[in-house]
A and B are shown apart, each in its own frame.
Chain A
Amino acid sequence: MWRVLPSAVSTCYTGKSSHMSIIFQIIAFDELRTDFKNPIDQSNPTRARERILNIERICNLLRRLVVPEYSIHGLFCLMFMCAGEWVTLGLNIPLLFYHLWRFFHRPADGSEVMYDPVSVMNADILNYCQKESWCKLGFYLLSFFYYLYSMVYALVSF
C-alpha cells in the first residue's frame, strides 16, 4: 500500500495543482506580452500607470506561485525517495535541480524571487519564461500519465 501512496498523491498533484499553476503562468505571460492593441493608446501617458500596475500585479502573482510549486515538487521527490521509487525519482531529479538553481539565482535585492517587473518585459526573458512554462506543462502532463499508470499498476499488482 505504501508504494501506491506517492503515486496516488502525486497523480492528484500533477493532475491538478501543477497543471493549474503552469497554465496560469502561460496565460500570465501571454497577458504580459499582449499590450494594448491600439498603438496610439499604448503610447498614451495615462495608460502608463495602468500598464505598469498590470505588469507588477502579474509579476506578484507569478512570484507567489513559485515557492508552492517548487516546494511541492521537492516534497514529492522526497516521497519518491522514501518509497524507493528510484526510476520516478530519477525522472524528477533534473527538474528538482533546475528548480534549486532557479531559486538560488534570483536577484539579490531581498524580496524578489524572480519575475522582476523591470526586466520581465525584455523579450528574451519573456520568451525564456514562456518556453519554460510550456516545457514544464509537457513534463507535468507526461508525468501525470506516468504516475497514473504506476498507480494503477501498483494497485493491480497489490
Chain B
Amino acid sequence: MSTAGFNSQNGTGTGQTYANGPSQNPVALQQLPGVSYGMTHQPSYNPMPAKAPPPTGPGLYPSAPYQPVPPVSSYQPGPQITSYPSSPGQPLLPRPPLSGPPSHTPPQSASPSPGPRMPPAQATPPPPAVSSSSYYPSPQQPMAPAWQYNTAPPPMGPPTSISTPPRGPVANHVNPAASLAEPLPPSLAPYSTAPPPRVSQSVTQPPGPGMPPTSMLGYTQPGTAPPPMNPMVPNTYQPGRPAYGPPPTGPSPIGPPPIMKPTPPPTGTPVANTTPPPPKGDAGLAQPGPPGRHLGHYPSLPPGYQNASAPHGTSSMHPAMQAAMQPYTQAPQPYQQPPGGPGPAQLSPSLAAMSLQSSTPEALRVVNLLQERNLLPPTPVPAPTPCLPQDLQKINCNPEVFRCTLTSIPQTQSLLNKAKMPLGLLLHPFKDLSQLPVVTSSTIVRCRSCRTYINPFVSFLDQRRWKCNLCYRVNDVPEEFMYNPVSRSYGEPHKRPEVQNATIEFIAPSEYMLRPPQPAVYLFVLDVSHNAVETGYLNVFCQSLLDNINALPGDSRTKVGFITFDSTIHFYNLQEGLSQPQMLIVSDIEDIFLPTPDSLLVNLNECKELVQDLLKSLPTLFGKTMETQSALGSALQAAFKLLSPTGGRMSVFQTQLPNLGVGALQSREDPNQRASAKDIQHLSPATDFYKKLALDCSGQQVAVDLFLLSAQYCDLASLGCISRYSAGSVYYYPSYHHQHSPAQVERFQKDLKRYLTRKIGFEAVMRIRCTKGLSIHTFHGNFFVRSTDLLSLPNVNPDAGFAVQMSIEDNLDDMQVVSFQAALLYTSSKGERRIRVHTLCLPVVSSLSDIFSGADVQAMTGLLACMAVDRSVTASLSDARDAMTNAAIDSLTSYRQSVLTIQQPGLLAPACLRLFPLYILALLKQKAFRTGTSTRLDDRVFAMCQLKYQPLFYAMLMIHPALYRVDDLTDEGALNINERTIPQPRVLQLSVEKLSREGAFLMDTGTVMYLWIGRNCHPNFLTQVLGVPNYAAVPENLYLLPELDTAESQRTRAFVGWLRDQRPFYPSLHVIRDESQLKANFMQNMIEDRTASALSYYEFLLHLQQQISK
C-alpha cells in the first residue's frame, strides 16, 4: 500500500524501488547552468538517459583512478555477521555484562507483599526550601495539573481458578529460535520456604513449575551462563539466612525498608552482633604504599578523615570474584552489614547508627560522610534492586535497560516533594542484547483502552480475562493467546513468553505499517575542503567503509550514496552500468537541486564495484584542493532532498566552521573566556537553521549523524541541533590529524567500524507509558517529541540512551506496584517492522524512609546531569551548578529532618545516598559544567551532548572515572571470560593521595583512558608491560600497549581490552608521564582533590553540612 506519494515497492530487491519521489527536482531534466559534469571537463551532459548506461569516454574522470578494478582485498564475501542480531541464537556483539553481579537479583524478602500500608513514619513538615534555585516544583515551574486522570483504579479482584480446557491448535507461534528453550520443570526445592505470593499475582506467577527458564530472560551473565535446566540455582534462598536481612547483592544500597517487614523470618538466627565492623580502606589489591611513599606535595588528609581510613582485614577473596560467584550471598567489604536478625521492624535508622547491633537495612544505614572516607565500593556500583516480591523481581526488566531514580515510588506528589529527589526513568531501549525472545504473532495482545502491550505484570482474572496493569481495564484474552508455543500446551496464557519476559520483541503484523518498511539507506556527506584534506580523515573513512561494506546492516534493497562538499556540492552518479563513478558538481549553492535524482542513491549490491572504485579514489581526488570554504548548510539540504523519498541515515563529516551559504556560522568563542569563572555564553544555538532542517529530516524519517573532526571552534552548539532533533548521534574528535594524533585516528577508526556495522532501526517511534496517576513531563536525549508521550526517532541505534522526568498526578494510594512500559516500534535493517517492549515494575511506598532506601544514586546523578544541561542552556551555567548543589543539599536535608529521629553532628546520609555528594561534586567538575578551568566551548558542548545522550553506564564513567592500580595486577579474583583471565583490580578513589610514584595507574574516563606511570615505577612493569628499559625511556606519545609475551603484559592488556569491550565506542589509551601534556587532563579528573577553582571533596562536604544545618 503506498501512501503520501511514495511510489514504492516492497522487497523487490531491484534497487529501483523509489523511482520518482515527490521532492526530486524536475529542473534537473534540463540543461543547467550551475551544473558541470565530470570534473568540469565536459561542458554539457544530458542527464536524461539516467536509466541507461551513459556513454563512457571523454568527459568522465581523469581515467587512471577509475578503471574498474576488480575488488581485491577489501571485498569480503564471507558470511555476513550482521544477520539479524537480535534473534536469540545470533548475538552480534556478545559482550560481557556491564556490571559485575548478574542482573537478575532475587528480592531480599520473601514477604508476600509490601505489607499493610503504614502511615508515613514521620510527621515532620516538609523542610524549608534551602535555596531559590532547585529542580523541584516551584511557582515558576508549575507541575502538571492533577485533573487529567481522576478516576481511581478499581480494586483488584480475587483470582478465580484456571479451569478452561484446551481448545485445539491456534495460529500463534513463537520464533523457533526462541522456542528452543524449552522450559523444564525446575526443582521445587528452592521455593519450599517461600511463602505464597500475594493474591493479585498468584495466577500470573505461580511459584513452582511455572517458572520461566532463565534462558528466556535474555541477559547473559559473565562467563557463567545459567544452565537452563536448573534456572533457579543462582537465586536459591538459603534457608538459614534471615529473610529480612540487608541486601545481599554486594555493596549496593538496597534493601527492604524496615517498616515493610510484617513478619519476622521463620528460621533466621540473629547474627547481627557477630560481624566485625566493616572493613575499610584499600584492603584489596590496589593497596597503596605506606604514607611515606606518597607524593610529598599532595594535600594530606583532612583531620576528620584520618581515623576512618585505617585498613582493616583483607578479604581472602577478591570482591569481584565473590560478586561473580556468589552474587547473592557475598559479604561486601566496606559496607557490609551483618544479615539482619529478626529485630523490631520499625527500628529507627538513627538507632542503627548508634549501635551496630541493629537490623536496619543496608540502604538506610546512616553514614557520616565527614568521617567515613572510603565510600567507594571496590567494584562498579550495581543498581539497587526494587523491593518487590520475589516472583515479580525475578522477571523485572534489566536495570541496564530500564532504570528508575527511585526504586520505590512515593504515593503522592507531596511525599515526593518532601523527599526532594528527582523522579525519572533512564532507558537504553535498543541496547544490544545477547538473548532476546522474539515473538511472531498474528495479533499482538494489547490493552484496548491504553494500548499497553501485555506484560508480566498484568493480572489474569481468569483464564479468559486479564487486567491491564497501567489503566486497570479488564481485557479479553484472544483465542490465539491461549496456546502456549513454548510448552505447546493450551490454556495457559500466563505462561506465554509475553507474560514471562519483561523485555520482548514482537514482529509486527501488517497493520503496523501503512507504507512498506523502508530499505536501509545510507548517505555519506563528506567535507573535502582544504582543511578536511589536511586532517587526512578521508583515507580512514574510505578504508573503513571499504572494509565494512559487506557488514553494513541491510538486505538486498540497501542503498548508498555519497555527497562531498567544499564551496560547491559534488554528487556522485553511481548508476549501474557506468564504468566509473561520475562526479556532478553543483555550484549554485543558494538554490540547491539534485542533478540526477535517480542515480545518486544506488543499490549497494548491484553497484558495489562502483562504490568501491569511488571509495578508493576519493582520498586522492581532492589531494590538492585549495578550497577553504565550507557550504555545509547547502550540502545538508541537498542530502535531505536526496533522502526524503525514502528516509534513512545521513552521516555528515565536518572539519570546520561552515562559512558559506545557508547555515553559515560565525565564531562565537572568545579564547580568553575559556577559563572564566563567570557564566559561559553561547551554549545555545546561534541559528535555527539546523533545528528546522532537523525537523524536516525527522518528518521524512532521516537521521543525521555528525562527525566533527576539527581543531578549531566549530560551534557544536549550533551544528549539534541537526543530530539532536533528528535522533542522530554526535562524534567529536578534537584536533584530529592523521599524523599528529594517532590515538585519535585509532579511535576514529574503531568508532567508524562500530558505527557502520552496528544494528540500526529505521522510522522508529518510542512510546513510554506508565501507570495511571504518574505522568511523564520532560524527555532527555536525541529525538523529536511528537506527542506528549511519543518520541519520533528517524533512526534508533543501540548506543542511544534516553531519560524522562515524571511527576505524580494522582495519589497512588491503593496501588502496591506501578509499572512503566517503553515500546519501541522500528523497521529493522532487514525490512521487518518490529516492536521491542520493556516493562518495569516498581513498588509504591508511603513513608519517606522507604523512598530513601530505594534511591538509585547513579540514576539520580544521570537524570540530574540531563536536567542541568537543559538548565545551563535555558538559564545559565551557574544556575545549573547551583541547582545541582542544591539537589544534594535538599535531599540530605530532607533525610535529616524527616527520616532521622535522633540528630547527630556531622553530615549524615543514608548508605544508598552516600555517593551522592561525590557524584554531584564530580558533575560540578565535569567538563560540561566546570568553571575556572580552561575548557573549549566545543568540548563543553560535546560533553553536554554526551551526558544527555549516552546510556547511564557510560555517562557515569564520564562523570566519575574509574581509577585502577595496574602495576601489581594478579590473577587473584580474576574473571575468566572466553578463556582469557581478566584481573580485577579494585576501584580507587579519585584522589592524588591514592597515587604513588612506585605504581602505574589506569584511569578510565569512558572515552579516554590514561595510564599514568609513576616516576619510580617498578622496572619490572616498565620492561614487562611497556617494553622500555627505564622511566626516562617511556615515549612521549605512547598510545598502545606493546604486545609482549609476558604474564604482566598479558594481564594488563587483558584488563584494558576487557574494559574496552564493555562499551560500544573505543576509548583511546594514553600512556602519560609526569612531563606529559596530558597529565593536566589526568589530574583534572582527580575530583576529590582541591583545584585552584574548585572545592575538594572534603570542603564540598563541609559546604553541604553548613547549608544543611542552616
Residues of A within 8 A of B (CB): 33, 35, 39-46, 48-49, 51-53, 55-56, 107-112, 117-119, 121-124, 126-128, 131
Contact = CB atoms under 8 A, between A and B. Distances in A.
B1092 to A, nearest CB: 30
B687 A118 contact: no
A55 B686 CA distance: 22
Contacts of A49: 4, 699-700
A44 B451 contact: no
A40 B688 contact: no
Interface of B: 3-4, 6, 141-145, 451, 511-515, 518, 647, 684-688, 691, 695-696, 698-701, 718, 725, 763, 765, 767, 775-779, 784-790, 792, 805, 807, 825, 827, 874
B788 A121 contact: yes
A119 B786 contact: no
Nearest to A45: B763
Contact of A43 (B143, B699, B825): B825
A1 to B, nearest CB: 42
A43 B512 contact: yes
B698 A52 contact: yes
B784 A123 contact: no
28 contacts: A35-B787, A39-B451, A43-B765, A44-B512, A44-B513, A45-B515, A45-B701, A46-B3, A46-B515, A48-B698, A48-B763, A48-B786, A53-B699, A56-B695, A107-B684, A107-B874, A108-B684, A109-B684, A109-B686, A109-B688, A109-B718, A110-B686, A117-B695, A118-B785, A121-B786, A121-B787, A127-B142, A127-B145
Contacts of A108: 684-686
Given A52-B699, A118-B695, A45 B647 contact: yes
A112 B786 CA distance: 19
Contact of A52 (B145, B765, B775, B792): B792
A118 B778 contact: no
Contacts of B685: 108-109
B142 A128 contact: yes
Given A40-B512, A52-B695, A118 B4 contact: no
Ordered nearest first, which 6 A-B pairs have the shortest CB separation? A49-B699, A45-B763, A121-B785, A124-B777, A35-B787, A123-B777
A55 B787 CA distance: 9
Nearest to B513: A44
A39 B447 CA distance: 12
A49 B778 CA distance: 22
Nearest to B517: A45
A126 B788 CA distance: 9
Query: Which of B688, B698, B700: most chain A CB closer than 10 A?
Result: B688
Contacts of A41: 514
Nearest to B145: A127
**Is chain B's interface secondary structure helix, strand, loop, or mixed overall?**
mixed
B788 A123 contact: yes
A92 to B, nearest CB: 20
A149 B614 CA distance: 79
A117 B825 CA distance: 23
Q: Which of B142, B518, B786 has the most CB of A within 10 A?
A: B786
Contacts of A128: 141-142
A107 B777 CA distance: 20
A47 B143 CA distance: 30
Contact of B688 (A51, A55, A111): A111
A53 B786 CA distance: 11
Contact of A118 (B451, B691, B874): B691
A126 B825 CA distance: 25
Nearest to A43: B765
B701 to A, nearest CB: 5
A50 to B, nearest CB: 8
Contacts of A110: 686-688
Of B143, B512, B778, B784, the most chain A CB neighbours within 10 A belong to: B784
Contacts of B788: 33, 35, 121-123, 126
B247 to A, nearest CB: 34
Contacts of A119: 785
A122 B807 CA distance: 13
B515 A109 contact: no
Contacts of B141: 124, 128
Contacts of B786: 35, 48, 51-52, 55, 121
B413 to A, nearest CB: 13
B866 to A, nearest CB: 12
Nearest to B827: A45
A138 B415 CA distance: 31
Given A35-B786, A124-B143, A46 B691 contact: no
Nearest to A130: B145
A136 to B, nearest CB: 14
B142 to A, nearest CB: 6
Contacts of A40: 511-512
B144 A127 contact: yes
Contacts of A107: 684, 874
User: Which interface residue of A42, A111, A121 has the most chain B CB atoms within 10 A?
Assistant: A121
Nearest to B644: A49
A66 to B, nearest CB: 16
Contacts of B3: 46
Contacts of B699: 48-49, 51-53
A137 to B, nearest CB: 15
Given A35-B787, A123-B777, A109 B691 contact: yes
B145 A131 contact: yes
A64 to B, nearest CB: 16
Nearest to B824: A43
Nearest to B681: A108
B808 to A, nearest CB: 13
Nearest to A131: B142
Contacts of B512: 40, 43-44
Contacts of B763: 45, 48
Contacts of A35: 786-788, 790
Contacts of B789: 123
A45 B777 contact: no
A109 B687 contact: yes
- Among the interface residues A41, A108, A131, which one has the most CB atoms of the partner chain B within 10 A? A108
